[in-house]
Chains A and B, each alone.
Chain A
Amino acid sequence: MSEKPSLSRRDFLGFATWAIGGLIGLGMGIPAIAYIIGPALKRVESQEWMRLGAASKVEIGVPTLFKTKIERQTGWITNQTELSIYVITENGRDFAAMSNICTHLGCRVRWNVDQGQFFCPCHNAVFDRDGNVVDGPPPRPLDRYEIDVIDDQLYVLGG
């Protein structure tokens, strides 16, 4: 034991302290990050068919507003959210369903009967009857829902 060790006791203990401290830091740090971002990464709910109402209520050429309640689980709270969906038909047989949520920043658009256009009050966006952007900042047309008619009842796929 007379030769000088390449790694002194002091250096070894210093190194070991940093190594163990680093392991503990990782052991806490990784779960902590997972814990914080966990709920953000969860993709919510499967889509299901929701009944909107009678197809006969939709006048030809006029977007008609339907409201439906869905249950949403947010955190530990289950609450009911109301979805508003515009349904339009040109011939009484083929229907299209559009969300009333503006594609710009999420305000609610409304159908203006006189002008025959959708308006968003937040930043003056204008959409035409089919949901295409006519004026204003929205990046894309109004979102569409898959729609189906069974026995005069309208169903849309959503969640």
Chain B
Amino acid sequence: MGNWLDERLGLREIWAAIFLRKIPKVNWLYTLGSATLFVAFNQIVTGILLTIYYVPTPDHAYDSVQYITTQVTAGWFIRGMHHYGASAMVVLAAAHMIRVIYYGAYKFPREVTWFSGVFLLLITVGFGFTGYLLPWDQKAYWATIVGTKIAGTPPVIGDYILRIMRGGEELSAVTLTRFFGTHVWVLPIMLILLISIHMYLVIRIGISDVPKKED
């Protein structure tokens, strides 16, 4: 049965290419990328679960989050995993980047892997910024007031940026829904696309060795 399927699907080859590829002798810092990927997976799963109850309107956002946290079975756990996972993802992605810089792993032939990684970090920060507003509490509200205000500081175009981010002059229901849409549709699609490219390149090129003294 397994052989019959594999003759048609060739999944074992893919499995071997992903998990049984040869790697140089490296240290634990080389697990930071995998750790980031793991947390990203956690964010996707818990994030999907949160949308089952969360409602992105000023009327219901705060109450639905409170409902998740205090009423729904294991809701505190799911929200907690998403909340702390968000911080962990930024920290791990940044640590992964520092490791790549420190070991010079961004050099030829891995420049494109590096670029995709830089965009992945930006997307992660974008997730953090848009997700921060969604609980619609005082902290969320004022952090987004400040954040959008900072985005509005460039001369000439600043005011347009601020208005586009807020969906108008004020922070409102329009802001909440566009942050929500960005957080659950735009950014996840970009993230999954870029992770695919990033992983394809890691598997295709292989990971870099720890640099030696003489390098």
Contact = CB atoms under 8 A, between A and B. Distances in A.
Interface residues of B, number: 18
Contacts of A31: 74, 77-78
Interface stretch (A34-42, A80-88, A94-102, A138-146): A34-42
A76 interface: yes
A39 B45 contact: no
Interface in A13-54: 28, 31-32, 34-39, 41
A36 B48 CA distance: 11
B75 A35 contact: yes
Nearest to A36: B52
Interface residues of A, number: 13
B49 interface: yes
A75 B78 contact: no
Interface in B98-112: none
What does DSSP make chain B's interface, helix, strand, loop or mixed? helix
B36 to A, nearest CB: 16
A76 B42 CA distance: 26
A38 B73 contact: yes
A38 B52 CA distance: 12
B75 A38 contact: yes
A42 to B, nearest CB: 9
Nearest to B77: A31
A34 B74 CA distance: 7
B57 interface: no
Contacts, number: 43
A28 B49 CA distance: 11
B177 interface: no
A75 B42 CA distance: 25
Given A75-B67, A76-B63, A38 B49 contact: no
Nearest to B66: A76
Contacts of B53: 75
B182 interface: no
A32 B49 contact: yes
A75 B75 CA distance: 13
B78 A32 contact: yes
A37 B52 CA distance: 11
B49 A36 contact: yes
B72 interface: yes
B22 interface: no
A87 B175 CA distance: 51
Contacts of B12: none
Contacts of A34: 73-74
B64 interface: yes
A39 B75 CA distance: 11
A38 to B, nearest CB: 3
A28 B80 CA distance: 12
B139 interface: no
Interface in B65-99: 66-67, 71-75, 77-78, 81
Nearest to B41: A28
Closest 10 CB pairs of A and B: A38-B73, A31-B74, A76-B67, A76-B63, A34-B73, A35-B74, A34-B74, A31-B77, A38-B72, A35-B78
Interface of A: 28, 31-32, 34-39, 41, 75-77
24 contacts: A28-B42, A31-B74, A31-B77, A32-B49, A32-B74, A34-B73, A34-B74, A35-B52, A35-B72, A35-B73, A35-B74, A36-B49, A36-B52, A38-B72, A38-B74, A38-B75, A39-B71, A39-B72, A39-B73, A75-B71, A76-B60, A76-B63, A76-B66, A77-B60
